[in-house]
């Protein structure tokens, strides 16, 4: 397969409600759809999920699209691609830039699945027809608002709830939710807001039977996390510093965590994610699919991944209406008794809703990849 | 001090000879001079040293200048800066992007030193009047060419020689140089070209009395380096994965290395570099100043850092004529019995040679930082 053209569609979907983390607050999802068209006219779609600010990782939406245009698409234009697994190798000399790589690589996976006339889920060996999903709740003003939201999502059928925590919005929030929902699958995400001096507070969280505490310490730390994990009953889960299977091996070898939040965008795409999932299953590390407030294309890729057997724990993959009034794909993803259906149509299994996409599109750029394909 | 204007000068200096590493080959130094002008008309200079390709680290020259324009300068424009140490904190919520941060932060340091009418070296507590320097030699075609180059640089007075090595260009190269120069201070830089399977080869290097082996394994690895360091007599030196003092603490706590190649650009500037130098001195880790084929402005900042007492080992700071026929500063840096003089004039102690700079300038962009300074 040769890719002859790329279309970079810059769109921005308003969020139904601002989403707050220890990093900051988002009111919309600003993203690109990367559309690749091959010599047979097959269209593959990926989503560039980097945030506008370099606060979660070092990439921004504008620096990542620059890397796609200046580095990744020129590499893709140079040769025939026999299988999607080649893309990770093609980009391997490029340090970092995982979100840029993932957006392009996932569009290639979609195109190949369509060429083979099967769903992306089937193509990557996923067998589930639907997946259990969890919901992630941003930092709230007070306990009352938080309890209302948890109640609302539990009523909607979400089986697992993740609370964002931060200094002064931790113990009392977790305690209140645990008291109101004694049996709920509950976890806390700290987004690197703590350090070793907060040990006693983190130790206190041990009593609330949490599934895990996500990234309590620095975004590049392995050693302090290992020190903490030895002293906690609760699993520590790593997110920001896991960019490849090598990072998982490093974390596992020194005992930094017992769970991994696996985001396709953060690890550079599907090939890298599959290696991480397989490593985790082999080494009894709980792996689950994280979220980046994706629009429908990114969400579809996540669901295909989470339909694999390694994924037994509900991911941060909510229905489209968790964040957006309208989604850019049809059919939108809808919760059904706490589960999302795994698309069975070809490729990512959903199609772009051109009317909605057009409404939220800010710009479209077409790039001819290779003029000289014989 | 308020910064009212920034000038981004994009220039490209041809190298006297191509410089080859396991990453690739450079024929010129493409860079930006970041010029900041404050309310008193003081000009501070920094150099954006990221390479055009994301092969050494994830930043490229074009992605880094984008981050400077979209993220860093707008932050700088927001407030009065009382001391240069504030910049690291001002940018601290931004993940990574160290080279972009360093270019702006170092321009602020230069401006403050000029305001205080003293040299940057004096301002950061450096006491040496001149510094011993080493030279880094790229990968060569064959042993003969390498020996000629080593001979040439030793004759010029360089006391320490670093050889770039890569698979099939390692043992026989190091052996030949050690045989011809039994007493020479010699080291090897692998730029992440090896892995655990190469243990026996790396162990063989132990016999050549090298000062150190730099970054044999992956650019984000701590654990495999610790495994190797336990089995080698020769120091392991880390480069690519050291971006902050936290990374040094992490490496030190698990024994990944006994030396650190400290590059101002790679660690986000002077404040970060000083913390690393102090930590290394306290913990008996050999710290030395690395190089990025800097032009004169970057070279001046490096010399100020390397004039500090923690730096006893010759850095990769060569004379201007090692790489360039002409340099963009006056006076150019000239070797004198293996030493470079530490500038004593105000700030970085050298001035832009506008004639030479103009000759190699590709574009200049002026950005007003704040229209409303009272």
Residues of A in contact with B91 (CB under 8 A): none
How many other CB atoms sit within 10 Å of the CB of residue A100? Answer: 33
Q: How confident is the model at residue B371 (pLDDT cuts 50, 70, 90)?
A: low
**Residue B119 near residue B345, CB atoms below 8 Å:** yes
Which of A66, A218, A246 lies at the smallest CB-CB distance from B218? A246
**Residue A195 CB-density burial (10 A; 0-12 exposed, 13-18 middle, 19+ buried):** middle
Question: Which stretches of chain A are DSSP H helices?
Answer: 61-67, 73-77, 86-90, 98-115, 120-123, 143-156, 171-180, 199-204, 223-229, 245-253, 270-282, 296-306, 354-360
Any domain includes B356: no
A189: annotated binding-site residue? yes
User: In a 10 Å sphere around its CB, with 0-12 CB exposed, 13-18 middle and 19+ buried, how is residue B159 labelled?
Assistant: middle
What would the pLDDT profile of A53-111 be if each residue is shown by its tens digit? 999 999 999 999 999 999 999 999 999 999 999 999 999 999 999 999 999 999 999 99
In a domain, A363, yes or no: no
What is d(CA A184, CA A160) in angstroms, rounded to the nearest whole number? 7
| A369 located within any domain | no
A220: domain CATH number? 3.20.20.120
Residues from A contacting B (CB-CB < 8 Å) are: 23, 53-58, 60, 62-63, 66-67, 70-71, 93-97, 218-223, 240, 243-244, 246-247, 249-250, 253-254
Residues of B in contact with A63 (CB under 8 A): 63, 66-67
Q: Quick check: B223 and A254 CB within 8 A?
A: yes
Say yes or no: B109 and B144 in one domain: no
Shared-domain flag, residues B69 and B204: no
Co-location of A183 and A46 in the same domain: no
Residue B147 has pLDDT above 80, yes or no: yes
Per the structure, the complete domain to which residue B81 belongs is given by 3-117
Same domain? For B146 and B91 the reply is no
Percent pLDDT > 70 in chain A is: 99
Model confidence band, residue B54 (pLDDT cutoffs 50, 70, 90): very high
Assess whether A99 and A162 both reside in one domain. Answer: no
Establish whether the linkage from the previous residue to A102 is cis, with ω within 30° of 0: no
Give the span between the Cα atoms of B297 and A57, in whole angstroms: 29
pLDDT of B12-41, one tens digit each?
Answer: 999 999 988 777 889 999 999 999 999 999
The pLDDT value recorded for residue B337 is 86
Please check whether residues A187 and A292 belong to one and the same domain.
yes
Mean pLDDT (whole number) for B44-68: 97
A193-207, B16-30, B126-140, B322-336: range with lowest mean pLDDT: B16-30
Among A102, A117, A132, the domain-final residue is A117
CA distances from A196 to A173, A216, A225, A230, B88 (A): 21, 9, 9, 13, 22
pLDDT at B374 over 60: no
Mutant choice from A95, A195, A238, A245 vs B, greatest count of B C-beta within 10 A: A95
pLDDT at A374 over 90: no
Please indicate, yes or no, whether residues A102 and A203 belong to a single structural domain of this protein. Answer: no
Shared-domain flag, residues B327 and B304: yes
Overall number of domains in chain A = 2
Pairwise pLDDT comparison (A19 vs A247), residue with the higher score: A247
- What's the pLDDT tens digit per position in B79-135? 999 999 999 999 999 999 999 999 999 999 999 999 999 999 999 999 999 999 999
Asked whether residue A76 is domain-assigned, the answer is yes
DSSP symbol at A332: P
Domain assignment of residue B214, yes or no: yes
Q: Which single residue is written with the structure tokens 């150019």?
A: B332
Give the β-pairing of B329-330 and B351-352.
Answer: antiparallel
- Does any domain span residue A273? yes
Model confidence at B286, pLDDT cuts 50, 70, 90, reads very high
Residue B88's domain is classified under what CATH number? 3.30.390.10
Q: Which residue(s) pair with B73 in the sheet?
A: none
B57 and A218: CB-CB below 8 Å? Answer: no
Question: Is there a binding annotation on residue A214?
Answer: yes
Q: What ipTM, to 2 d.p.?
A: 0.95
State chain B's mean pLDDT as an integer: 95
Q: Which of A22, A54, A94, A248 to mutate to test the interface with B (most CBs of B within 10 A)?
A: A54
The predicted model gives A189-193 an average pLDDT of 93
Whole-angstrom distance, CA of residue B291 vs CA of residue B264? 9
Contact A9, A357 (CB under 8 A): yes
CA-nearest residue to A98 within chain B is B58
B64, B97, B117: which is the final residue of a domain?
Answer: B117
Query: CB count, 10 Å around CB of A326?
Result: 17
* Residues A112 and A237 grouped into a single domain: no
The pair of three-digit structure tokens given for residue A224, joined into one six-digit string = 């302090």
B263 is catalytic: yes
Q: Are residues A203 and A305 in the same domain?
A: yes
Q: What angle do CA A88, A94, A96 make, to 5 degrees?
A: 90
- pLDDT, position A94: 97
Q: What angle do CA A90, A92, A97 make, to 5 degrees?
A: 110
Tell which residue, A164, A131, A148, has the closest CA to residue A315. Answer: A131
d(CA A313, CA A318): 14
Q: Are A328 and A33 in contact (CB under 8 A)?
A: yes
Chain A residue closest in CA terms to B100: A58
What is the tens place of the pLDDT at every residue in A152-169?
Answer: 999 999 989 999 999 999
Determine the pLDDT at residue B21. 78
- Asked if residue B197 belongs to a domain, the reply is yes
| Residues A292 and A318 both lie in one domain | yes
Instruction: Let me know if A175 is exposed, middle or buried by CB neighbors in 10 A (0-12, 13-18, 19+).
Output: middle
Burial class (CB in 10 A: 0-12, 13-18, 19+), A237: buried
Domain annotation covers residue B223: yes
Residues B146 and B225 in one domain: yes
Domain end point (choices B72, B102, B117):
B117
């Amino acid at each position: 397969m040769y890719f002859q053209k790329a279309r970079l569609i810059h769109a921005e979907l308003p969020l139904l409600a601002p989403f707050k983390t220890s990093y900051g607050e988002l009111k919309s999802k600003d993203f690109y759809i990367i559309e690749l068209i091959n010599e047979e006219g097959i269209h593959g779609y990926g989503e560039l999920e980097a945030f506008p600010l370099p606060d979660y990782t070092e990439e921004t939406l504008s620096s990542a699209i620059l890397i796609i245009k200046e580095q990744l698409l020129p590499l893709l234009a140079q040769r025939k691609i026999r299988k999607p697994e080649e893309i990770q190798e093609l980009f391997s000399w490029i340090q970092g830039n995982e979100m840029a790589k993932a957006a392009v690589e996932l569009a290639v996976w979609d195109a190949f699945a369509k060429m083979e006339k099967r769903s992306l889920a089937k193509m990557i060996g996923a067998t589930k027809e639907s997946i259990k999903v969890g919901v992630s709740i941003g930092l709230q003003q007070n306990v009352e608002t938080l309890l209302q939201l948890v109640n609302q999502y539990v009523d909607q059928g979400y089986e697992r709830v993740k609370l964002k925590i931060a200094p002064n919005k931790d113990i009392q929030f977790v305690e209140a939710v645990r008291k109101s929902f004694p049996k709920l699958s509950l976890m806390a995400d700290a987004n690197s807001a703590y350090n070793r001096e907060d040990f006693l507070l983190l130790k206190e969280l041990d009593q609330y039977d949490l599934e895990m505490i996500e990234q309590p310490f620095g975004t590049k730390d392995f050693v302090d996390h290992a020190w903490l994990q030895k002293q906690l009953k609760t699993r520590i889960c790593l997110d920001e510093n896991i960019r490849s299977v090598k990072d998982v091996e490093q974390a596992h070898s020194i005992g930094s965590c017992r769970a991994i939040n696996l985001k396709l965008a953060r690890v550079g795409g599907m090939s890298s994610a599959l290696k991480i999932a397989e490593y985790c299953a082999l080494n009894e590390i709980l792996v689950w699919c994280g979220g980046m407030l994706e629009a429908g294309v990114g969400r579809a890729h996540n669901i295909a991944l989470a339909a694999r057997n390694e994924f037994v724990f509900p991911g941060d993959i909510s229905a489209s209406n968790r964040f957006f009034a309208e989604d850019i794909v049809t059919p939108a993803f809808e919760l059904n008794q706490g589960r999302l259906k795994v698309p069975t149509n070809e490729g990512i299994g959903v199609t772009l809703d051109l009317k909605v996409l057009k409404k939220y599109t800010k710009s479209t750029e077409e790039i001819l990849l290779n003029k000289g394909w014989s």
